[in-house]
């Protein structure tokens, strides 16, 4: 007869849906088994059903009050319940569940981080920071803990703790995009401008390539750009990100999924152009800046990922970095003939600055790049960048690329 061990074996084999069904079958014959209920709850959570997870886990915890269930481990049950409630946006319940788990296992680093995440969501940043700090004390080499600690310290303007966390983070994950981007801001805020200059050396870390001819197969550069524009506007994945999408910037933004997915059409030629340019730029940086932390920790093999962005007549992109990338690139096939704005540099690509949620006081001059049709811009992915606000009678289209680390035997367009 199937039992809980069989369900756990299915889960370990990557067959979580089957494991959950087996747990449900077991519960039909014995609804008073707390361990089966807790296992069903963790599986439901993993499979994206937090409501079911909450139901199973609450039943498991309630049953644990019985003497017969005295050996049942409540810590994972409360932890998973906290995660389910957090996903359901029940922050009070999530905080209570994580707090209960910590009373039972106060030395568990991920529980401190989870509680800190709930407190951060509630706006209790100082208390969240204390939780993240405790998580890192318990597990000093935990990148996720350092990430939470650094980011929250930045939001509080606590620049030295933020920089300390970033430095440890970079030592564990060299060339980490998010850590380098945060460190560059913290260094400036601490007055360590020469060190910040190394990370924000726009003269050597930005590469602008203005094409004046089309790749093979296209009569002219204008024809190539027109084909890319059509490919963007007719792309089956073109959509407006929702307000809850982390890529949302403004209501006029539309984005594609993988721009170079088959059938590639004119995207194939652009993909090759970008790969060649990135390959050459990475090799140049390795020669000219071998000790730069970004260069020293670079991935040796990468694949390109791409997407196209359309701003419909107006809009902007807020300062951001590309967390999963090493080098990034943007190509402009369609730029309005005239762009206007209340401020300077309407529609320009600007490097520098950072998110508005960081209470920065030091103002480093931004490096502004005027977009032109046929322009390819290459840059390290940790550089904060934005599209300055503009309005125009036409759409503005940019095609972006990220280099994503990959194993050599599986990489596309390897370097």
- Note the pLDDT tens digit of each residue in 41-63: 999 999 999 999 999 999 999 98
Same domain, 58 and 169: yes
Same domain, 233 and 111: no
Same domain, 186 and 224: no
Lowest mean pLDDT among 67-76, 108-117, 231-240, 251-260: 67-76
Structurally, the chain folds into a number of domains equal to 2
The per-residue pLDDT for 410 is 37
- Domain harbouring 361, CATH code: 2.60.120.620
Same domain, 393 and 260: yes
What value does the mean pLDDT take over residues 200-205?
Answer: 94
Which range of 36-40, 159-163, 411-415 scores highest in mean pLDDT? It is 159-163
Quote the mean pLDDT of the chain.
92
Same domain, 253 and 391: yes
Q: Which of 179, 198, 217 is the last residue of a domain?
A: 198
Distance CA 258, CA 378 (A): 19
Same domain, 194 and 315: no
What value does the mean pLDDT take over residues 195-222?
Answer: 95
Same domain, 292 and 168: no
Same domain, 249 and 107: no
Global confidence as pTM: 0.87
The per-residue pLDDT for 414 is 35
390 lies in a domain? Answer: yes
Q: Does the pLDDT of residue 396 top 50, yes or no?
A: yes
Lowest mean pLDDT among 70-74, 158-162, 241-245, 256-260: 70-74
Same domain, 77 and 148: yes
- Domain harbouring 39, CATH code: 1.25.40.10
CA neighbor of 225 nearest in space, from 349, 397, 394 = 397
Domain containing residue 330 = 204-405
Q: Which of 172, 198, 224 is the last residue of a domain?
A: 198
DSSP state of 167: H
CA end-to-end distance (rounded Å), the chain: 54
Same domain, 184 and 318: no
CA separation, residue 392 to residues 316, 329, 331, 369 (Å): 12, 24, 19, 18
Same domain, 344 and 387: yes
């Amino acid at each position: 007869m199937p039992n809980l061990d069989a369900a756990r074996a299915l889960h370990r084999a990557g067959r979580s849906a089957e494991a959950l069904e087996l747990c449900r079958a077991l519960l039909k014959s014995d609804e008073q088994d707390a361990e089966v209920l807790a296992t069903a709850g963790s599986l439901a959570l993993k499979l994206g059903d937090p409501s079911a997870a909450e139901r199973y886990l609450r039943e498991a915890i309630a049953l644990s009050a019985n003497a017969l269930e005295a050996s049942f481990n409540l810590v994972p049950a409360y932890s998973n319940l906290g995660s389910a409630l957090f996903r359901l946006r029940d922050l009070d319940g999530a905080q209570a569940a994580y707090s209960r788990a910590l009373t039972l296992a106060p030395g568990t680093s991920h529980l401190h981080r989870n509680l800190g995440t709930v407190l951060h969501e509630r706006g209790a940043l100082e208390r969240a920071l204390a939780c993240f700090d405790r998580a890192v004390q318990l597990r000093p080499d935990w990148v996720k803990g350092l990430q939470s600690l650094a980011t929250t310290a930045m939001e509080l303007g606590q620049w030295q703790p933020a920089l300390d966390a970033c430095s440890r983070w970079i030592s564990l994950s060299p060339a980490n995009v998010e850590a380098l981007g945060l460190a560059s801001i913290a260094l400036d805020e601490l007055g360590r401008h020469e060190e910040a200059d190394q990370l924000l050396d726009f003269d050597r870390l930005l590469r602008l390539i203005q094409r004046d001819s089309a790749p093979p197969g296209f009569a002219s550069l204008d024809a190539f750009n027109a084909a890319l524009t059509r490919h963007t506007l007719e792309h089956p994945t073109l959509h407006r990100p929702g307000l809850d999408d982390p890529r949302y910037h403004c209501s006029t933004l539309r984005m594609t999924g993988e721009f170079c997915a088959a059938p590639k059409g004119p995207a194939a030629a652009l993909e090759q152009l970008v790969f060649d340019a990135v390959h050459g730029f990475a090799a140049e940086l390795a020669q000219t800046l071998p000790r730069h932390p970004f260069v020293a920790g670079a991935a040796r093999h990468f694949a390109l990922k791409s997407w196209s962005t359309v701003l419909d007549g107006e809009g902007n992109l807020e300062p951001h970095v590309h967390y999963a990338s090493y080098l990034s690139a943007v190509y402009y096939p369609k730029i309005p003939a005239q762009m206007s704005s209340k401020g300077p540099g309407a529609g320009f690509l600007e490097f520098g600055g950072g998110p508005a949620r960081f209470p920065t006081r030091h103002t480093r001059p931004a490096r502004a790049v005027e977009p032109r049709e046929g322009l390819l811009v290459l840059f390290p992915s940790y550089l904060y960048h934005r599209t300055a606000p503009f309005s125009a009678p036409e759409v503005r289209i940019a095609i972006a690329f990220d280099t994503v680390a990959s194993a050599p035997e599986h990489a596309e367009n390897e370097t």
